[in-house]
Amino acid sequence: MTLEPTLREKILTKLVEVIDPETGMDVLRMRLIEELVVDEESGQVSYRFRPSSPLCPLAVSLARDIKQAVGSVSGVQAQQIEVVNYIHAEELTELINQSDV
């Protein structure tokens, strides 16, 4: 009997595919995703995205790639991202949560 992976496991598997072009490493290994909370029943997901530096030139594109990856997982109904430790964290948080990426 094979157990179906949890929604959280599916999300983590998908996030490993999101690669930071500057380092060639995935966002999980770089610890750019924090406080991942997954409600398995409702499909609600929330997490923090911490760019590699407060001035990270790729923060916007990485945030977009992360949101797209999480959103592509079957069972995810909604997601809430909080950007932290970035010079324009509030603006990026608002932008990324409003976009339909």
* Structure confidence by residue, pLDDT tens digits, 57-67: 999 999 999 99
- Residues 65-78: what's their mean pLDDT? 97
Instruction: Check: CB of residue 97 under 8 Å from CB of residue 83.
Output: no
Domains of the chain: 7-98 (3.30.300.130)
Task: Strands of 1-101 (E only): list them.
Answer: 33-38, 44-49, 78-83
How high is the mean pLDDT of the chain?
94
pTM of the model: 0.92
* Structure confidence by residue, pLDDT tens digits, 27-59: 999 999 999 999 999 999 999 999 999 999 999
| Ramachandran assignment for 72, one of left (phi > 0), alpha (psi -120 to 50 degrees), beta (any other) | alpha
- Residues 56-79: what's their mean pLDDT? 95
